[in-house]
Amino acid sequence: MRKFSALIVFLFLFVVGFSGIAMSKEAPKYIKVGTLYASSGPFAKPSTAEFKGLNFWVHYVNSKGGVYVKAFHKRIPVKLVAYDDQSSTATATTLYNQLITQDHVNILVADFGSVLTSVAVPLAKVHKILLFDVTGTGSKFFTPDNPYIVLCSLPTSGRWPYTLADFIISEKINRIAIVYSSNDFDQSQAVTLHNKLKKAGVDIVYYHAVPSNTSNYSIILHNIKAKNPNAVIEFGYPNNDIAFLQNLESSGLKFNMVFTVFPGQLFKLLKANVGVKALSYGYTYPTPPLLRYNKVNLGMGIDKFEKEFEKYSGKTPNFLNIAGYNVGLIIQKTLETSKKFNQLAFRKAIAGFSGKAFTLDGLFKVNKEGAQIGEMLPVAQFVPRGQGLKMNIVYPPSMKTAKAVYPAP
């Protein structure tokens, strides 16, 4: 009990001490960047990966003496304040509030994904602090009356299948089967794709939702086969994609085209779980590092980033590491260009470089509501090469590296 009260007193002093610093008008000693991550629970894997990317950015800018803050005309080191929300939204609410009201962070960065971002949106709005949303693509977050949110690393999920739909239409593939997990992220993609294809007169022969924790697709695959489609599109979370591809391989069924979401984002994870053969001739949305953006005007290009990140963490980066780093870059650019050191000035600065900044994650462009519209996700196909896989971008024509192998052999 004594220890506990000591802890409270300590925390109290800590808070008072830091709020004192934040209150002062002069340049702060540190730029405090506050964020949450999940070390356990369903979002732990992507969340920690994203967090690591952000950590890398902090490490990197601090090794250069900090980030340049235009409002104070000097470089200021970055200090990361991060708490563990255990994938729980209730805990996340408390901890976001901790960051805002106790730690008085200068920059607020959301945790991974829509669910853990959701609780931060109204909090940020009411406390008038700009929320740097990393991958929370939920459509409900972006409203005209809320200037306090910017989506940094992915387009809102409803926009994801735009190129996929165009690809299917341009290849004149008919008879499409769509199976999706019933959550915000996957359903919005399925709805977009369904509507776009319907409009173009493409036959959709199977269109069903399955629960998000579906772990066996054998029967579903069999039912899909009974409709004899040319292309099977599966929208799911990583778990769903893994189970789907595993079941597809062991079932011995063949389709001309199979599309899944996550091989393009978590290639190594998917490859380790389902193997090379199950991914061969499959389609996905490629994201960096599979997409190689080296012509950038903000931060490192992908080649350099991979090298530096490996030095830092001993691991090759995945997409979520890049998303975490990318949000750091947006913060950096914001501070570099914002004339004043306040939240609305930050938002204004972002509007200023939106559409002009090009990072290893692609073009950064947000609309008035803060939603990402610059990045778009091409369509790629994996083809076997030697023992491994090669990824070809097959659509849109402007980025195309090879013609799609359709139908799959």
| Residues from 81 through 140 that contact another protein (CB under 8 A) | 82-91, 93-98, 101-102, 114-115, 118-119, 121-123, 125-126, 138-140
Residue 170 binds another protein, judged by CB under 8 A: no
Binding test (CB under 8 A) with another protein, winner from 21, 74, 182, 385: 182
Among 89, 80, 3, 9, which Cα is nearest to 41's? 89
Burial (0-12, 13-18, 19+ Cβ within 10 Å), 276: middle
Site for another protein in 368-407 (CB under 8 A): none
Structure tokens at 312: 């830092």
Site for another protein in 277-316 (CB under 8 A): 277-278
SS (H, E, C) 226-289: HCCCCEEEEECCHHHHHHHHHHHHHHCCCCCEEEECHHHCCHHHHHHHHHHHHHCCCEECCCCC
**Residue 182 or residue 401: which is nearer to another protein going by CB?**
182
Structure tokens at 315: 């691991």
User: What type of residue is 40?
Assistant: S
- Over the window 23 to 62, marking each residue x when it contacts another protein by CB under 8 A and - when it does not, the resulting string is ----------------xxxx-xx--x--------------
238 Cβ neighbours under 8 A, 6+ residues apart:
45, 46, 262, 266, 269, 270
Give residue 114's region: left, alpha or beta (phi > 0; psi -120 to 50).
alpha
Residue 242 binds another protein, judged by CB under 8 A: yes
- Nearest-approach distance from CB 226 to another protein, in angstroms: 6
**Residue 209 or residue 408: which is nearer to another protein going by CB?**
209
- Nearest-approach distance from CB 88 to another protein, in angstroms: 6
Residue 157 binds another protein, judged by CB under 8 A: no
Other Cβ atoms closer than 10 A to 397:
9
CB 76 within 8 A of CB 31: yes
What are the angstrom distances between the C-alpha of 295 and each of 135, 183, 362, 400? Answer: 23, 35, 9, 17
Which three-class secondary structure state does DSSP give residue 69? strand
Residue 187 binds another protein, judged by CB under 8 A: yes
Residue 223 binds another protein, judged by CB under 8 A: yes
Binding test (CB under 8 A) with another protein, winner from 12, 65, 228, 388: 12
CB 96 within 8 A of CB 36: yes
**Residue 86 or residue 342: which is nearer to another protein going by CB?**
86
- Nearest-approach distance from CB 96 to another protein, in angstroms: 7
Binding test (CB under 8 A) with another protein, winner from 200, 272, 344, 402: 272
Site for another protein in 329-348 (CB under 8 A): none
Residue 141 binds another protein, judged by CB under 8 A: yes
Binding test (CB under 8 A) with another protein, winner from 63, 198, 203, 213: 213
Other Cβ atoms closer than 10 A to 390:
12
**Residue 92 or residue 349: which is nearer to another protein going by CB?**
92
Query: Which of these segments, 179-187, 195-203, 293-301, 375-383, binds another protein (CB under 8 A)?
Result: 179-187
Residue 271 binds another protein, judged by CB under 8 A: no
Burial (0-12, 13-18, 19+ Cβ within 10 Å), 335: buried
Distance, in Å, from the CA atom of 370 to the CA atom of 2, rounded to the nearest integer, reads 47
How many residues belong to the site for another protein (CB under 8 A)?
83
- Nearest-approach distance from CB 234 to another protein, in angstroms: 13
Binding test (CB under 8 A) with another protein, winner from 106, 246, 334, 338: 246
Residue 239 binds another protein, judged by CB under 8 A: yes
